[in-house]
Structure 1
Amino acid sequence: MTTHKLTLSRLPKSLLLCIFYFASASGIAQAEKTNIVFILADDLGYGELGSYGQKKIRTPNLDRLAKEGIRFTQHYTGAPVCAPARCTLMTGQNLAHAQVRGNKDSGNGRIFPGQWPLTADVVTIAEVLKQAGYTTGAFGKWGLGPSNTSGSPIKQGFDRYFGYNCQRNAHSYYPPFLDSNEREVLINKYPIPGRDRKPEGEIKAEDYRAENYAPDLILDEAVKFLNKNKAKPFFLYLPFVEPHVSMQPPQAWLDQYPEEWDKENGVYRGQNGYLPHPRPRAAYASMISDLDEHVGTILEQLDKHGLTDKTLVVFTSDNGPTHGSRDPKFHVGGAACTFFDSAGGLNGFKGSCYEGGIRIPCIVKWPGKIQADSQTDTPSYFPDWFPTLCSVAGAELPKDQQLDGIDLTSVLKGGQAPPREELMIWEFHGYRGIVAIRDGKWKALRRNLLNKTPADWELYDLEKDQNETTDLAAVHPEIVARLEQEYLKTRIPESDFPIPLYDKLSTVDSQ
C-alpha cells in the first residue's frame, strides 16, 4: 500500500493563502487580546490611599496607578462584607438576585469549613473569560465555597488557585496552611491563631509571627503565574487579604512609621477581637503600605515583560474599613480607622450600607484607552465588572444568567455610562438585615429587617449630601415607595438568606 505524506508544498497556492490568513488572524486575535489584572483589597476604606486624600499612610504605587489611570469617586462594592461582595463581583448579579447574600459557613464541619458555595449552574466571569481563550488564575482570599464543593475556584473557572479558600483561615497572616488548587499546603509548623487576648504584661509584635507570611507566599505564586503565562492572554484575579485584621505586618514597615502615633491610645490587647499589638496605629498603616508594595510588584512584573500597554489593571476593595467595637479607642482588631479617617469622611463603616461601608476606592489603568490622571463621578459597582470585562475581552455574555450591571468601557474612555436597566441594589443578610437602593442621586436605605420591628426607610440626596446627614424620607415618601416597589419587582427570594418581611411581599407580588 502506498502512503502519501501531506505537506504544505503539495497544497494549492490559494489554499495555502487561506491557511496562512486564518492562522495569522488567529495569532493576531490572541496577541491583541487585552490581559486583565483585577486586584481586590480586603477592608480598605475610601480614604486610605493618598490619591483619595490620605495624608499619613504611604501608598506610592497605588498613587502612581491613579496618576496613570482613572480614579472612580462613586464606586461601590456589591455588599458590605466579604463573601457576598465577592459573589456579586464574580457573578455580575446584585444582592436581589445573587446566591450569596451574607457571610455564612458551608457547614462541612472542619475547623476552616469554607463559606457557602456557589452552585454549579451559576456562571462566573472566570468561566466566561476562560471560554474566550484566557488563562485564569486567582491568588488570595476566595470565600465562595470549599474545595470539595461546587463553589471551589477550580470548579468556577480558574485554572490555578493559591491562597485562603476559607476566610476564617485568613484571620491570621501566619496560618497552618494555604490552599493550592484543591489541596492544602502546610506553610507554618507552629501557626499563629487569628485571635488572642493579653490583658496584662508586655506585648511584642514578634510573638505573633511565624516562619511564613502568607501574603508573600500568595504574591510569589501570582508572579509565577504571570511569568508562566505572559505570552498568552490571561485573567489574573488578586483578592489580596490586607488590611483585614488581625494586624501582623512585617517589622520593616513598622519601623518606618512614627512611634509617637501610638502614645495616645497605647498598646492594643485584643479586647476588640483578633490579635494584640504594641503599636496598633503603626501596624494598621504598615498593612496598607505592605499591600501597596505587593501591588507595586505586580506592576513591575508587567513592565518587565512588556505587558503594561497590553493590560487592563483594576484596583478596588471588597468593602469599607472595619467598624468600632467594645473599646471605643480602637476599631475591631485594634484598627485605627478613626485616626486615619479611613472612610474619607463618609458615614458608616464595614457592615453598613451607608456610604462609608460600601463606597470604595477604585483605580483603573488601561494604556492607550484611558486618559492618565483622570477621574469619573459615574456611580458604579461590582456587578458592572462582569459586562465590562467581557467587553474588554471580546467575550460573549452568558445567555441564561441575569446580569445586573452596565458596561463601563465608555466611562473608562472618558464617555458617558449607558442607562441602567436594573437599579443599584444591596440586600444584605447580616448585621440584622439591610436593604439599600440607589437610583441616580437618590439612595433609600432600611435597616434591622431581621428584627421583629424593622426600622423605617431613610432617603438621602447624594448629590447634595454624600455624608448622609439629612434623611428626606418624610419629605419625599413617593420616592421611597417607588424605589421599594422597583426593588420588589426584580427581587428573587433566596431561602438560604431569608428576609422574612420581603420574602412574603415578593411572594405576593409574584402571584
Structure 2
Amino acid sequence: STQYRLKLLSVDMMTLLLLLLFLCEAQSWVASKPNFVLLMADDLGIGDPGCYGNKTLRTPNIDRLARGGVKLTQHLAASPLCTPSRAAFMTGRYPVRSGMASQSQVGVFLFSASSGGLPPSEITFAKLLKDQGYSTALIGKWHLGISCHDPGDFCHHPTSHGFDYFHGLPLTNMRDCKLGEGSVFTAAFRLLVLLPMQLIAVALLTLVVLKWLGLFRAPPCAFLFLFLLATLLLGLLLGFLHYFRPLNCFLMRNRDITQQPMSYDNLTQRLTADAAHFLRRNAETPFLLVLSFLHMHTALFSSKDFAGKSQHGSYGDAAEEMDWSVGGKANNWEGGIRVPGIVRWPGVIQAGLEIDEPTSNMDIFPTVAKLMGSPLPQDRVIDGRDLMPLLRVRTRRSGHEFLFHYCNSYLNAVRWHPPN
C-alpha cells in the first residue's frame, strides 16, 4: 500500500526528528509540577523504529515506550532541515517568524563562526520552565547558533535560552567531523578548487605546446604566476581540511570547550551517562532534560558494542545504539517532514493509544506551558497547539486545520485538515 511504502522511505537525505516526551511526578512535588524529559533523534525516519513497522532494525526500548504511551502516526516536523526545525521545536513557532528560515540554499549553520542564531528575544519552553523554578539541561546537539557580535557573548548559546546546563555539540554532526566519511563541501571543492586547477593545467599545457611549436613565446612570469596560483588554491584546500575539524567539531560543557576536535569513541554512552547523572542530581526538584541525539545525522558512528551488529550497515548500527540510549532530508515530501512521535505519562495518558490526527513538533511548547500553568506569551503568535486534549482523549480532533511547510523561507506545501 502507499502508506506502507511511505514508512519504508530512505532517509539518507532527510532531517527527521524522533520526539519522545515523558512526564513524571517528582516525589517532593505535586502533580502540577511534572518533570519533562524530551528525547530528540536527528535523521531518524518514520519507518525506522520497530513500533512503526520496521521488522529488521532492533529498537526494543523505543518500542516499549510506544506500548506504554501514545504513538503519533501523523506527527510533522516544521521543517526538513535541522536548524529551522529545532527553532520551531524550541519556540512553538514557524521558523519564518523567528528569522530562522534561511533565504540561502544551505539553510543551516555549518561553521562555529556563522553569524546568526536563535534570537535572544525568542522565548523557549526552557525559559518558561526556568522561570517557574525548574532545573533545565540540554545534552547533545544544539545547532541554533553560539554568539552574536563577539565570540564570547554567547547570545545564541543554550545557556542564554533557558538551559542551566549544556553538554554537547553546539553545531551539527557533519561527515567532515569524522575522518573517512567524506565532506558536505564536495560540490564547493569541485567548483572552487578542482575546476580552477583544471583550467590552470590546461593553460600551462597550452603555453608549453605553443612554445614548443614556436607559435608563441610566453614570458617566464606567466608560468610562475600559474604555478603560484595553483599552489595557493591547493594550500587553501589543505588548510581548510586541516583546520575545519578542530574549529567546528568540538564538544562544550556550558560555555567551555571540553574536547576539540571531538572524539566519537563511546560518545553516545558519555552523553547518556551525563543525562542520567542530571536526573539523579535533580531527583528532588522539578526538572527539564532535553537529550538531543547526534544520531542519525551523518557522520554515522557507533561504539564497538554496536558496530557491525545490525542488518543495515553503519546506519542500522547507529540506530540500534541510539535505541540503547533510550533505555529524505531537505524536502517537503512526506518522508522529509513526517516523523516518529511518542508521548508517555504513566497513570495520566492511556497506554497503547494510537493517534492519527496531524500534530507538530511545535506543539511541545504550548503543551509544556499548559501543564505547568504558565500563560502563553501574548506579544507573539504561537503556532503550536496543546496536545493534552488529544492525548487524554478529551477530543478526537487535532487543533491544526492547516500546517504550512517551507523550503527555507519560501512556502512550499500546506497540509489541510478540513473541519468536516
TM-score, reference length from structure 2: 0.70
Q: Residues 30 and 233 of structure 1 are in contact (CA less than 8 Å); yes or no, is this contact kept in structure 2?
A: no
Counterpart-to-counterpart distance in 1, 2:264 and 2:145: 28
1:10 corresponds to: none
* Match status 1:232 vs 2:237: no
Structure 2 counterpart of 1:372, from 326, 331, 351 = 351
For 2:400 and 2:75, the matched residues in 1 are separated by: 18
Residue from 143, 164, 168 that aligns with 1:163:
168
What CA distance in whole angstroms lies between the structure 2 residues aligned with 1:41 and 1:77? 12
**Deviation (angstroms), 1:441:** 5.6
* CA pair 30-160 structure 1, distance change in 2 beyond 3 A: farther
Q: In the aligned structure 2, how far is the partner of 1:170 from the partner of 1:112?
A: 15
1:436 correspondence with 2:413? yes
- Structure 2 distance, partners of 1:214, 1:256, is 18
Aligned residues: 318
**2:306 corresponds to:** 253
SS at match of 1:113: coil
Cα deviation 1:101-134 (Å, max 9, x = unaligned):
1455669xxx533573111211111101111221
In the alignment, structure 1 residue 181 sits paired with structure 2 residue 254: yes
Q: Give 1:180's aligned amino acid.
A: R
- Please say which of residues 353-362 and 88-97 is displaced more in the overlay: 88-97
CA distance 1:76–1:59, shift in 2 (3 Å): same
How far has the Cα of 1:402 moved from its partner?
1.3
Indicate the larger mover: 380-389 or 51-60.
380-389
* Cα distance between partner residues in 2 of 1:441 and 1:241: 37
Amino acid in structure 2 at the alignment position of 1:437: V
Quickly say closer, same or farther: Cα 1:211–1:291, change in 2 above 3 A: closer
TM-fit CA distance, 1:217? 2.1
Assess, with a 3 A threshold, how the Cα gap between structure 1 residues 211 and 140 changes in structure 2: closer, same or farther.
closer
One-letter identity of the residue aligned with 2:309: Q
**Cα distance in 2 between the residues matched to 1:132 and 1:428:** 36
What corresponds to 1:152 in structure 2? Answer: 157
Number of the residue aligned with 1:335: none
* Change beyond 3 A, Cα 1:46–1:161: same
Tell me if 1:411 matches 2:390: yes
State whether residues 95 and 426 of structure 1, in contact with CA within 8 Å, keep that contact through their aligned partners in structure 2.
Answer: no
Cα 1:29–1:224, aligned 2, differ >3 Å: closer, same or farther?
Answer: closer
Tell me which residue corresponds to 2:126: 126
Correspondences of 1:57-72 after superposition (within 5 Å): 57-72=57-72
* 1:137 and 1:235 in contact (8 A); partners too: yes
Identity of aligned residues (%): 32
Name the counterpart of 2:86: 86
Task: String of CA shifts for 1:271-316, please: whole Å, max 9, x gaps.
Answer: xxxxxxxxxx3211110010000010xxxxxxxxxxxxxxxxxxxx
- Alpha-carbon distance in structure 1 between the residues aligned to 2:54 and 2:408: 31
Distance 1:115 1:142, change over 3 A: farther
Higher relative contact order (CA 8 A, sep 6+): 2
Counterpart in 2 of 1:382?
361
The aligned residue for residue 485 of structure 1 is none
Instruction: Tell me, in whole angstroms, the C-alpha distance in 2 between the residues paired with 1:441 and 1:418.
Output: 10
Single out whichever of 61-70 and 407-416 deviates more from structure 2.
Answer: 407-416
Q: Tell me, what secondary structure is at the counterpart of 2:412?
A: strand
**1:171 CA displacement:** 5.6
Whether the aligned pair in 1 keeps the contact of 2:363 and 2:386 (CA below 8 Å) is yes
Helix, strand or coil at the partner of 2:97: coil
Matches within 5 A, 1:13-32: 32=32
Does the CA contact (< 8 Å) of 2:28 and 2:285 recur in 1? no
Q: CA offset at residue 173 of structure 1?
A: 6.4
Question: Are 1:126 and 1:157, in contact at CA under 8 Å, matched by a contact in 2?
Answer: yes
Q: CA deviation at 1:255?
A: 4.0
In structure 1, stretches of 5+ residues that fail to align are 1-26, 192-209, 259-280, 297-348, 443-462, 464-511
Secondary structure (helix, strand or coil) at the match of 1:97 reads helix
